[in-house]
Amino acid sequence: MPDLMPQAEYWNGEVGERWARMQADLDAAFAPLTDAFLDRLDLRPGLRVLDIGCGCGETTLLAAARIAPGGHAAGLDLSRPMLARARGRPSQGAPVTWIEGDAQAVGFAPDYDLVLSRFGVMFFEDSRAAFANLRRALRAGGRLGVLCWRGPHENEWVTLPREAALTVVPPPDPLPEGAPGPFRFADADLLTALLAEAGFAAVAAERIDRAITVGQDPEEAARFALTIGPVSALMRDLDPETRARAHAAVLAAMPRTRPVRLAASCWLVTATNPG
């Protein structure tokens, strides 16, 4: 089993810096999923919203635009590089507050109407503590909405480049059961059970499938796959010759279309704080 780096160290190191650099690429690729997610959260003027694992701020800023006038949005993350990127982006709509912190430990008051998270909850080191704490951030009757990945086999944007890269590089050691990672809640029952255990009610899971654009051409798509997301982990510590062969294999596997669009599949999980 691999040694697991603490999440704060992981997201404040090279990975967080790389994600900050790739902010525009990531937001563009995930836009169809982000739009579907936000459309289902019934964001209205006047709401107070907390975005967990806000990263470079895309969902926080989009939510702020929907809850104006009279609302307020807060974006929380433990990654300083990504928060720096978020703070430097223009904001329109409701006021926005950026918070550096760990969702498991921040002392929340029950101030929020909605807690949301796009691709953040899979990385909690202690999911039970985090969800219990997020419930404390919600007023009675407040809502939770999270978006997380379904299994790798349902996400072509991951499996296609991964299978190509694995013709060149050895497979990684499997993560320990329950360890932080992008597909931690591929089985929605795991997440819904944790939310019920934390005291949430009306817990429900809905599947969201979209094609996402990972590049305007095959070369750009290969660069995206090998720079960001699960496949990028395979490229760590490779010598230049092996890295070049892996890049060539991934590039050859990409559809010869412009743009390159691949299937993505998520769970949208919602719940309510009964008070």
113-124: average pLDDT: 97
The CA distance from 108 to 110, in Å, is: 6
Band of residue 173 on the pLDDT scale cut at 50, 70, 90: confident
The identity of residue 174, as a single letter, is P
Handedness of CA 36, 181, 240, 170 (dihedral sign): negative
The confidence score (pLDDT) of residue 1 equals 32
pLDDT band at 172 (very low <50, low <70, confident <90, very high): confident
Contacts of 162 (CB under 8 A, 6+ apart): 152, 230, 231, 234
Residues with Cβ within 8 Å of 268's Cβ and at least 6 positions away in sequence, in order, are 36, 37, 40, 145, 146, 147, 205, 206, 207, 208
Rounded to an integer, the average pLDDT of 49-74 is: 98
Which pLDDT band, with edges at 50, 70 and 90, does 7 fall under?
Answer: very high
Spatial separation of the C-alpha atoms in residues 170 and 6, rounded to whole Å? 24
Segment 116-138 mean pLDDT: 97
* Angle between helix 127-136 and helix 188-197 axes, rounded to 10 deg: 50
Residue 38 has pLDDT above 70, yes or no: yes
Query: Where does residue 93 fall: left (phi above 0), alpha (psi -120 to 50 degrees), or beta otherwise?
Result: left
- pLDDT value of residue 74: 98
- Mapped to the 3 state alphabet, what secondary structure does the chain carry? CCCCCCHHHHHCCHHHHHHHHCHHHHHHHHHHHHHHHHHCCCCCCCCEEEEECCCCCHHHHHHHHHHCCCCEEEEEECCHHHHHHHHCCCCCCCCEEEEECCCCCCCCCCCEEEEEEECCHHHCCCHHHHHHHHHHCEEEEEEEEEEEECCHHHCHHHHHHHHHHCCCCCCCCCCCCCCCCCCCCCCHHHHHHHHHHCCCEEEEEEEEEEEEEEECCHHHHHHHHHHCCHHHHHHCCCCHHHHHHHHHHHHHHCCCCCCEEEEEEEEEEEEECCC
Closest CA to 154 of 254, 32, 263, 35: 263
Position 127 confidence tier, pLDDT thresholds 50, 70, 90: very high
Residue 234 confidence (pLDDT) above 80:
yes
Which amino acid, residue 164? A
Beta bridge partners of 49: 73, 114
pLDDT at 230 over 90: no
Q: Which two tokens stand for residue 237?
A: 């510590």
Residue 177: pLDDT band (50, 70, 90) is confident
Q: Please provide the average confidence, as pLDDT, over all residues in the chain.
A: 95
The pLDDT value recorded for residue 30 is 98
Mean pLDDT on 12-27: 95
pLDDT at residue 104 is higher than 60: yes
pLDDT computed for residue 12 by the predictor: 96
Q: Tell me: the pLDDT tens digits for 180-216?
A: 999 999 999 999 999 999 999 999 999 999 999 999 9
Could you tell me the pTM of the whole model?
0.96
Q: Does position 16 have pLDDT exceeding 90, yes or no? A: yes
Structural domains for the chain? 7-151+177-209+266-272 (3.40.50.150)
Residue 2: predicted pLDDT:
40
